[in-house]
Every structure is written in C-alpha cells, then in structure tokens.
Structure 1
Amino acid sequence: MEIKAIPSSVWKFLWHYLSAQRVLFFSIILTIVLGEFLMRISLYFAAQIVEAISGEGDMEIRLSMAVWSAVWASTVLLLRSLVQNATVFVEARFMPNCIVRVSKDLFSYVHQHSTAFFAEEMAGNISGKVKTIIDSIYPVFYNLLWGFFSPLVAMTMTFFFIFKINICLSLLLLSLNLLLIFVIYRLSKTMVPVSEKRAKTMSEANGILVDSITNAAIVKNFSRYHFEKRYYFKYMRIAADADRAETKKFGTVFIWQNLLRAFLQVLFYLLPVWYWYIGKINVADFVLIQSLIAILNNTFSMLSMNFMQFFKLYGSLRDGLVLLSKPCDVIDRAGALKPENIAGNITFEAVKYHYKNANALFDDFNLEIKAGEKVGLVGHSGSGKSTLVRVLSRYYDIQGGKISVDGTDITQIKQESLRSHIALIPQEPGLFNRTIMENIRYGRIDASDEEVYEAARRAHIHDFINKLPKGYETKVGERGVMLSGGERQRIAIARAILKNAPVLILDEATSALDSESEKYIQDSLKELMQGKTVIAIAHRLSTLKEMDRIIVLDKGKIVESGTHRSLLAKKGIYYGFYEMQSSGFME
C-alpha cells in the first residue's frame, strides 16, 4: 500500500515510524527502565556494605550482612548486563526495519509527485534531503532513547531512592535538577534554526554539484570548468559559513551549559554533606546519595551534549520534511478505476490549463480522437503540442474541463493504470544506467529474452547491440551517454514496441535519427501503429504524411485541421511550414 502523506512535523514523523513497531519499541523502553532500576538497586546494596562495615555491633553479623550485600549487588549487576545485551538484540531488529520503512515511504512518496515537482526542484537537492533524513534516523533514535528517555528514567529513580531517605532533600535536589534540564533544553533549542540553515545550504550545494556533473558534457563543450567551479564554490562557501555558524553556536551553548552544570553540581554535593552534618542522614545514606548524584552528574553531562546533538538533527530533519512532505498535486481519487483494456477513444472537452504563474495555454480547448485514429500535431514551439500529451497522461492536472479515455474521465482512472495503456517515445529518450536488456525490458518487465530481441529487431537496433562486446548486457551509462542519440532513440522505440500499449505518443520520435535510420524506423513505426490510437508530434512534416488527420496548433488553439494533402491545398499555416522545410529553411 502506497503512503498517502509524509508527516510534516518532525515529532509526528518520528512517532509515526518509531511506533510502527510497537512491540519492539516498547520492549526497548522496558529494557531501559529495567536497566536503570537494577543499577539503583546495585547502588543500594553497595550502600548496605558501607553501613555493615562502618556500623557497630557483632562482627559476625556485620560481616555476613556485607557479604550478602556484595552477592546481591553482583547478581543485580549481572542481571543488568543481561538486560543491556537483550536491548542490543532488540535494537538490531528494530532499527533496520525502521530505516527500511522510512526509505521505502520516502521513495514512494517522492515518485508520487507530479512532473511539476521535479521541474521545480533539482534532483540533487531532492536526493540530498532524502539521504539526510535516512541518515538521521538512527542518531535521532539513539538521542531520544539514550539521550533523553534513559536520563529521565535515571533521574526519576534516583530521586525516588533519595525520597525514601529524606523527603526535603529529595525535593530540593529535584527542583535544582528540573531547573538545570529546563535551561539545557532552552539553550539547546536555539540550535534548530542554524542547523536547519546548514542543512538547507548543504542540500543546495549538493544540487549544484549533481547538476554540474550530470551536464559534464556541456561544461566541456563550452569550456566552462572554471565557471562551474566558481559557481559551485560560491554555494559551498555559503554552506561553509552556515556550518561555521552552527559549530560556533554549538560551542557557545555547550560552554553555558557546562558553567551552569558545574555551579549546580557544587550544590548537589554540598547539600547531602549538610544534611549529614545536621544528623538528617547516616553514613550509608550519604554514600548512597553521593553515588546516585555521581551517576546523575554523568547523566546530565550526556544530556546536555545529547540535547544539542538532537536539535542539530532536528533542524536537518525539519529542513528535509519542508520539501519532502509537500502534498502531491496530482493524486488518485478514492475508488479510482483500473481498466484492464481500453480501445483508445480520446476526448478533450472545454479544457483549461496554465502552468504556474503563467497565462492560460489552453482555454476551452476541444478535440476528439477516435480509437485507431492517427493524429499529427504541428505548431511553433510553445503552441501546446507537448503539453497536450502531458495532460493526457496526467503528468499535470488541468484547471478546467475534462479529458476522457473511452468516455471515462481520466481523473477517475488510477494514474498507473492510465499510463500503462500509453506508450511514449519522447524526443529526449531517458535511459537508466543499466544494461540494454534491462532498459528495453522496462517496457514490459515480464518479457522473455526472445521478446526483447524481437522488439530490438523491429526497432532496427538488434544487429548493433550484438556487435557490442557485451551485447545486451552492455551498460549504457547515465541517461545513456555511452550511446549516440540515434541509438538511444531506437532503444526507446524498442521499449515502446515491447510495451505494446493501445495508445502511442510519438514526441519527435525520429528527430535524433539520420536519414537512413529514420527510414528504417518509419517502417517499424508503421507496423507498430497498426490498430493503435496514435498522437504524433513532429517538426519534420514529411513524417506526418501517413496521418489520418493533422492538427495545427497556435497558442493553445486549433487553427487548422485536415489531411496532409487537404492542408497543403488550403495553403494556410501548414502550407507555410511545409514550404519552409521544402526550401531548406526549417527542419
């Protein structure tokens, strides 16, 4: 089941995943409580040894008391060690599961976002924030349980034992401890904004780095290495300044916390001495209280550090969740349909659409494409050709009107199901940095090797692949950089052939091919288009001659419609395009 939303609050986010495995989570809580309790019991028996040695009375009785107290103290410490070992094994199961859940949900939710989300955010920035959140889960968990909860339990049990000895002393020490915790908390919380800024600037710098590396060929083509270095270093300097500010803040907070803790520690040690002096507690009580306070002081030393570490992580988590918890703007409706088959009737009715902060591209746009009809789209750049096929695939949602497939509003169909019936061969074919076999098989994951080979043959790429040293097991590099534009395009065509969807979209599908390759591909596409609803976008008008109908778009409106021959005879806009190409002025 896909996750519907990522909690935007850090606390809600943490609780959502920590409580998802309630049995394991509360088992860890129980072992922490039990371990702290056993530690205090061992100190109680140690104090009994001191009382037996320093007391008066029969030596045999005191010796027996001291020995049995030592035995019980050792037994309790052994039990505590076993409990701590059990905690390690429970954590070993709990944490990997928790990290897998977070990773899976973040991956799923990011992919649920529309194309607009990825257009507005750099891939490096998105992946950087995902990695930051995943990397922060374990240290946050450690800080919450061992940095906050364990000291809280330790403090509670410490004051319970002191309360049993002397109520007034325990209340006085408790008040001082609560004051210390409050001040540590308030000081540590000032780390959040500087940590959030550091995480944000580091993500931005990572985004610039990934963007530059991804476009390394452009950098080399324009000899812009030094420009890119300055551009990246500018963002890294900003990130370094933010990191320096965070470290400086960390040091300042730590100093103030240490000064306050040192001052209160003096009172923690002197108050029991005073109570012993006035006869309110005996030597054994004094030893027990001092042992408890010694452990408590060490606990507070850890607490102050863990508070600051936690709020550093808190800032990083909050920065990541600001982006990654954004609501998806294209979502499936409850009860959305999953049609197994479609005929391919497509209808655009009074469609209204505009990009963010832009004028309307489509306003009351109407178009009907019958099942099995082959329609070509022609127009200047920005006329709405590519946008039309994107809204058909629900990469974006329209602001008004309706788009239907076989009479069903596409918003009533699950996005995954809708797109499974549409094969897209784009102008810029996207390939994974995987093998050729894996890239072609992406069209239909359960396809056999022979079916992949056949798709490649029909795309006129099979012979080329077999000539490679590793054949179909050849990795194509990031985005297919190891192949030429034409080779990438033919692999994308093979992938679409394998998918064999009833609706086929050709978005400048032959633009990267040479004339010889284009001829082969056109023959393959003719076979592929048989019985399918086809929408073909092309600037090379010669590729549209076989279309049943050609639609000429201008600023989101249909200005001409007809066959290739009828539009030429009309001598309108389409005729002008064709004349420019025939004269060699337009490709």
Structure 2
Amino acid sequence: MKYIPRVFRYLLPYWRLAVVSALLILLASLVGLLMPWPLKFLVDSVLGEEPTPWWVTATFGKFASDRYAMMYVAVIAGLGVTLLSDLVHVLSNYAQTKLEQLMVLDVRSDLFEHSQRLSVSYHEQKRSGMLIYIINSLGDAVVGVLMTIPPLVQSVLTLIGMFIVSMTIDPWLALVSLVVVPFLYYSVGYYAKHIQSRLYEVRGLEGETLSVIHEAISMIRVILAFGRSDHESHRHRKLGLKAIDARVKITIRQTLFTMAVNAITAGGTALVLAVGARHALSGKLTVGQLLVVLAYIASVYKPLESISYTIGGLQDKFVNLGIAFGLLDTEPDIKDSPNARAIDRVRGAVRFDNVKFSYPGREDTLKDVSIDVKPGEVVAIVGPTGAGKSTLISLLPRFYDPDGGRIEIDGINIHDITLKSLRHQIALVQQEPLLFSGSIMDNIRYGRLEATDEEVVNAAKAANAHDFVERLPEGYRTELGERGTKVSGGERQRIAIARAFLKDAPILILDEPTSAIDSKTEQVILDALDRLMVGRTTFIIAHRLSTIRHADQIVAIEAGRVVESGTHDALLLRNGLYRQLYDIQTGKRRRQRDDDAIVNPTEVNADTSNSDEVAEVIQ
C-alpha cells in the first residue's frame, strides 16, 4: 500500500479524462438503483391493487388508470433503464480504457527509460528476458491497481444507495443482509495473507521462462551449430511446467476463495429470502416490495462479491506493483555527481591517474594504472587475455566507475562532467559491431540523429562502406534485420565505423575492431580506421599487433598493471611483454605464410603492414 500515492502520479496528466470516468461511474450507480422499480410498479400497481404512484398519475394523466397502458409503460421503462445502463457502461468502458492505456504507456516508458539509465554492471548481472518481462508484462501493474478503484467506488456507491433504499422499505431485512460482511472480511484477509509469497514465486518463474526464450533466440546460431534445439526445448518446457504447476496451485486457491465468497453470499441471500417471505406473509411487505428488496439484496451482494474479488485480485497486482516499482527504485550505480557540468567539445587530453578497479568477486582487475595521453595521440592497449584492457577503456565513458584514482579529460575529472556530455565526446567501435534492425541509413545516422542523407553517405564513403551499400538492391534503405544479420561481419563493421565517422567525437575507442575479420577485409577496414583516427585521441585494443605498429604510444598491461609503455621500436628493444607477444604473433604468421607458399607459391596471403616479412617468405 506504500506505493499507492506514487500510483496517482500517473493519473494527474489525464485528470480531465479521470473526472469524466468518475462521473460516468456515478451515473452508472444511479442507473443501477432504477433497475428493479419498473418491475415493482408492474407487480404492485398494474397486476396488483396498490395505488398508482402520484408521479405516474401526474405524468400520464387519465392513461394512468388504464392497466394495459401502464403495463406497456412498465415494460418500456424497464427496457429504457436497461438500454441506458448499457449506454453508460459503454461510455464508461471507453473512458476507462483510454485512460488505462495512456497510463500503461507512461509506466512502461518510465520503466524502459530507467532501465537504460542503469549501469552496465547491473545489466550484466540481470537477465535481459526478466527486464523485458517486467517492462512489458508488469508495466500495467501501476494502472491495474489504479483501475480497480473505479469499480470499487461504483460498488461502494451502489451498496450504500441500495442499503438506504432497502432501509426505507424494511429496516430489519436490510440489517439481516449485512450478516455476511464479517465473513467476507475474514475471507479476504485470510486469502491476502497466504497468497502473496506464491504470487512472487510464479512471477519469478514466468519471467525466467521468458529469459530462456530470449536467450535461445539470441544464441540461435550456437544452438543450431551444436544441434541443441531439443535440449533448449526441453529446458524451456521443464521450466514452463514448473511455472504451470505453481500457477495451477494459485488458481486452485483463487477458485476456493471464489467458492467461499459465493457460499457466504448465497447463505446471506437465503436468510434474507426467508425473513422477507415471512414479512410478506405477515403483511409487512407487498409482493412488489419483496421483489424490490430481493433485487436490491442480490444487487448489494453483487458489489460485495465484486469488492471481495477485487481486493483478493489486488494481491496479484500488488506483487506486480512491487516488482515494477522495485525496478524504478533501483538506483543507477553510474550517475551524475551533484557538481557535474556539461562541457563543449574537448581537445582530447586523457589522463589515468593510479586507477584501481575490481569486479564483484574478482579483486584487483586493475591496479594503479597511470597513462598520460596528449590530444590527437594514438594509444594502443595490448596484453594477454584477461589482463584488463577492455575494462580500462570501459572506465573512460563511465560504463563503470574506478574504485580508486581518477580519470581526467582536458584536466577535468570525468566525475565532474555530466554523463551525456562526457559520452558525447567519445565514439566507440567494438569487436562485434552492434546494429539495429532498421535500415543502413538509420544505423549510420544513429551516430548523429540530425544528420542529413548527404552527411550519412559521406560518412559511409569515409568508412569504405558506400560501394557495397550501393550494390545492394535497396541501397541505404536496405533493412538489416535483427543485429544486422543480412550483411557480412566486415560490412557490419564498416557500417559501425561510418556511424563513428558521423558522430565526429574527439575521442575514439577501437575495441579489437578487426579481430574477427579476414586479412583482405581487415585492410579495407584499417584504411577506413586510419582516416577516422586523424585528429582524434584514439585508444586501440588489439590482439593483432601488426595493426598498431605506428601508434604514438603502446601500453602493455598484464594482470591489471601497466608493465611497460613506449613506441613499437622502443618496446621491441626491451625484450619485455610486448616483445614476447610480438614474437609469438610474427612466428605464427611466418609459419602460416610458409605453408601457403608451399601449397601455392604464387598466392601468398600477405599482411601489407609487414612487408619485410613478406619479402622474406617470398625469398
């Protein structure tokens, strides 16, 4: 219930629609009070001997004494009240549905927006499928709680109105009808107390099932390659059966709760019928009055049942509400500091000063790392797998925050820069080029959304992507499919580079951009990267050392520490880690080229950045 005040925040933008909906609910309650009166008039005044009500005589004049005419009036009145009730119901449904859908969109938008503000580490720990489940399936929880209020209010208003009218007809009968209230109250309390934990369990299992589906679709190539379709189907079905079992148990309890409510109201109805019939036999009530009272009592019990079901059903919505607000209440690990300020385009001087960082459960990923980079320099980060290269570079755009030390851009601590303006200074090209399912034009324009078509094409030309794009049947309007699966890896990488060109950021991060590409495509991409790096401070993480020989500074990292730094030639003379990595790679390449030369001496797959070695192989 602590979330209820927050729920109303989503109602405020649509208060006019909410007022209309409330008025229609009030009108529906009033119309509901009219429903049994045409029947009473028909039974007592038309079929019976009760005098015709004064307002009927005043309205119809001499026709009020004509029983046949009054019979048609009663029937038409009953039909009119029913049609009016249906009309109000339709209008109320329209207003409530529109109000509900608008608020659902607002809630889902807040959940989606907030999930994007959460840190990379949060998303690494949480399964994507569960986040999708919360945003899409539980996003209507806030509205679900709020939209239970109108029927509750309508039921309460109807209950009060009918009880007042019943009291005027037969006070004892009206009081007898309230005998069921304590039993309903106890039933609702017992149900609410014992259902919540099971609902949390079911929600978790249903979210996990969606996570399995999402993961399987994302990993479909691996699943097919290893022939594990049956295994994944069995895993999904096993988890689904577990969720079904938990859901069935809850449904049984919900059904038992419904049966208990029905049994209580049925007992109350029987008691009222017995007392009312006794009063009718003793002349305290007319038959018409008894029918009205019975209709009201039945109608009173209907809102009582509705209130019971709604309050019982609210437990499900409260669980959803807790999960949804739990996501909204999750504080981002990475956020603007109180004194953060936006900055304009930087020169690109970067300084890592005694930076320390540890992942949860993995200490000393980075230990006292210090690097000074001048504007426009190209810095290569090398080292064995797991040395901390990618982690170090991930600290610059604040995907993570260091545990110690500081990082500066142009002498400003990055914690004193707003995240938006900090990341505006940085362009990123990753090992796996991540593309959206839109067109090539849209994917390149993602680097700068306001860019013109001409600027997009120029960026593609600079990235050596224009030619292959033009050869496609739909050119830049070609839809790439999910994750860009309709083009090759090298083509995806060139689109990603074009996106970085278009962003035109002063700092560039290249995270192993050619490691998964063949040598021929690598040269095309390296040519594009050479143009991209001009005038920008560039950090390159590379396993292929041949791509970084001309870097202004090479930093070798091992076990989270900087073990050496310098130029390519200087590091080769030191016989340190860089020389070891270089000797291993050049030895492998030389052996591969020797094998290629034996198989086909006229076609040697040469690395153009190592012309001396190529000449040696040919000789």
Shift of 1:501: 0.4
Deviates more, 1:430-439 or 1:481-490: 481-490
CA distance in 2, matches of 1:555, 1:309: 55
Shift of 1:118: 1.7
Report what 2:117 is aligned to. Answer: 112
Query: What secondary structure sits across from 1:347 in the alignment?
Result: strand
What is the letter of the counterpart of residue 105 of structure 2? V
Shift of 1:198: 2.0
Structure 2 counterpart of 1:37, from 7, 11, 30:
30
For residues 427-442 of structure 1, the aligned pairs below 5 Å read 427-442=431-446
Report what 2:164 is aligned to. Answer: 160
CA distance in 1, matches of 2:436, 2:49: 83
Report what 1:22 is aligned to. Answer: 15
CA distance in 2, matches of 1:160, 1:323: 46
Deviates more, 1:256-265 or 1:529-538: 256-265
Deviates more, 1:97-106 or 1:342-351: 342-351
Report what 1:217 is aligned to. Answer: 221
Identity of aligned residues (%): 31
Q: Is the contact between residue 189 and residue 311 of structure 1 (CA under 8 Å) also seen in structure 2?
A: no
Shift of 1:188: 5.4
Change in 2 beyond 3 A, CA 1:59/1:350? closer
Gaps of 5+ in 1: 1-7
Report what 1:509 is aligned to. Answer: 513
Deviations 1:330-375 (A, max 9, x none): 2223463222311112222333321123213234433322222221
Report what 1:4 is aligned to. Answer: none
Query: What secondary structure sits across from 1:584 in the alignment?
Result: helix
What is the letter of the counterpart of residue 534 of structure 1? T
1:243 paired with 2:247, answer yes
CA distance in 1, matches of 2:12, 2:490: 52
1:358 paired with 2:362, answer yes
For residues 293-372 of structure 1, the aligned pairs below 5 Å read 293-323=297-327, 325-334=329-338, 336-372=340-376
Report what 2:600 is aligned to. Answer: none
CA distance in 2, matches of 1:413, 1:182: 57
Report what 1:402 is aligned to. Answer: 406
Change in 2 beyond 3 A, CA 1:82/1:44? same
Structure 2 counterpart of 1:197, from 201, 213, 220:
201
Report what 1:5 is aligned to. Answer: none
What is the letter of the counterpart of residue 561 of structure 1? S
1:529 paired with 2:529, answer no
Shift of 1:324: 5.5
1:492 paired with 2:492, answer no
1:125 paired with 2:118, answer no
Q: Is the contact between residue 187 and residue 257 of structure 2 (CA under 8 Å) also seen in structure 1?
A: no
CA distance in 2, matches of 1:156, 1:483: 68
Deviations 1:94-140 (A, max 9, x none): 22321221221121111111111221122222112211124556665
Deviations 1:195-234 (A, max 9, x none): 3322221110111111112111111211222222222222
CA distance in 2, matches of 1:201, 1:124: 12
Q: Is the contact between residue 407 and residue 413 of structure 2 (CA under 8 Å) also seen in structure 1?
A: yes
Change in 2 beyond 3 A, CA 1:19/1:552? same
Q: Is the contact between residue 43 and residue 73 of structure 1 (CA under 8 Å) also seen in structure 2?
A: no
Deviates more, 1:77-86 or 1:97-106: 77-86
Q: Is the contact between residue 510 and residue 518 of structure 1 (CA under 8 Å) also seen in structure 2?
A: yes
CA distance in 1, matches of 2:574, 2:586: 17
Deviations 1:265-302 (A, max 9, x none): 22233344455566766666544322211212333444
Deviates more, 1:304-313 or 1:190-199: 304-313
What is the letter of the counterpart of residue 415 of structure 1? L
Shift of 1:89: 4.2
Change in 2 beyond 3 A, CA 1:57/1:112? closer
Q: Is the contact between residue 490 and residue 517 of structure 2 (CA under 8 Å) also seen in structure 1?
A: yes
Q: Is the contact between residue 52 and residue 62 of structure 1 (CA under 8 Å) also seen in structure 2?
A: no
1:95 paired with 2:88, answer no
Q: Is the contact between residue 53 and residue 66 of structure 1 (CA under 8 Å) also seen in structure 2?
A: no
Q: Is the contact between residue 35 and residue 80 of structure 1 (CA under 8 Å) also seen in structure 2?
A: yes
Shift of 1:181: 4.2
What is the letter of the counterpart of residue 107 of structure 1? F
Q: Is the contact between residue 191 and residue 308 of structure 1 (CA under 8 Å) also seen in structure 2?
A: no
Shift of 1:244: 2.1
Deviates more, 1:58-67 or 1:252-261: 58-67
1:546 paired with 2:546, answer no
Q: Is the contact between residue 440 and residue 452 of structure 1 (CA under 8 Å) also seen in structure 2?
A: yes
1:557 paired with 2:561, answer yes
What is the letter of the counterpart of residue 109 of structure 1? H
Q: Is the contact between residue 429 and residue 492 of structure 1 (CA under 8 Å) also seen in structure 2?
A: yes
1:385 paired with 2:399, answer no
Question: What CA RMSD, in Å, does the superposition of the two structures yield over aligned residues?
Answer: 3.2
Q: Is the contact between residue 100 and residue 147 of structure 2 (CA under 8 Å) also seen in structure 1?
A: no
CA distance in 2, matches of 1:153, 1:555: 71
Deviates more, 1:229-238 or 1:128-137: 128-137
CA distance in 2, matches of 1:214, 1:58: 78
What is the letter of the counterpart of residue 360 of structure 1? D
Shift of 1:540: 1.2
Deviates more, 1:341-350 or 1:109-118: 341-350
CA distance in 1, matches of 2:101, 2:56: 50
Change in 2 beyond 3 A, CA 1:439/1:59? closer
Q: Is the contact between residue 195 and residue 313 of structure 1 (CA under 8 Å) also seen in structure 2?
A: no
Change in 2 beyond 3 A, CA 1:310/1:62? closer
What is the letter of the counterpart of residue 509 of structure 2? I
Q: Is the contact between residue 463 and residue 494 of structure 2 (CA under 8 Å) also seen in structure 1?
A: yes
Report what 2:598 is aligned to. Answer: none
After TM superposition, the score normalised by the length of structure 1 is 0.89
Change in 2 beyond 3 A, CA 1:272/1:396? farther
Shift of 1:466: 1.5
Query: What secondary structure sits across from 1:427 in the alignment?
Result: coil
Report what 2:459 is aligned to. Answer: 455
Q: Is the contact between residue 53 and residue 62 of structure 1 (CA under 8 Å) also seen in structure 2?
A: no
Gaps of 5+ in 2: 65-69, 593-619
Q: Is the contact between residue 176 and residue 272 of structure 2 (CA under 8 Å) also seen in structure 1?
A: no
CA distance in 2, matches of 1:184, 1:329: 41
Shift of 1:174: 3.2
Q: Is the contact between residue 32 and residue 158 of structure 2 (CA under 8 Å) also seen in structure 1?
A: no
CA distance in 2, matches of 1:57, 1:274: 20
CA distance in 1, matches of 2:52, 2:165: 28
CA distance in 1, matches of 2:448, 2:531: 19
For residues 181-192 of structure 1, the aligned pairs below 5 Å read 181-187=185-191, 190-192=194-196
CA distance in 1, matches of 2:422, 2:155: 54
Deviates more, 1:323-332 or 1:540-549: 323-332
Q: Is the contact between residue 280 and residue 290 of structure 2 (CA under 8 Å) also seen in structure 1?
A: yes
CA distance in 2, matches of 1:207, 1:59: 69
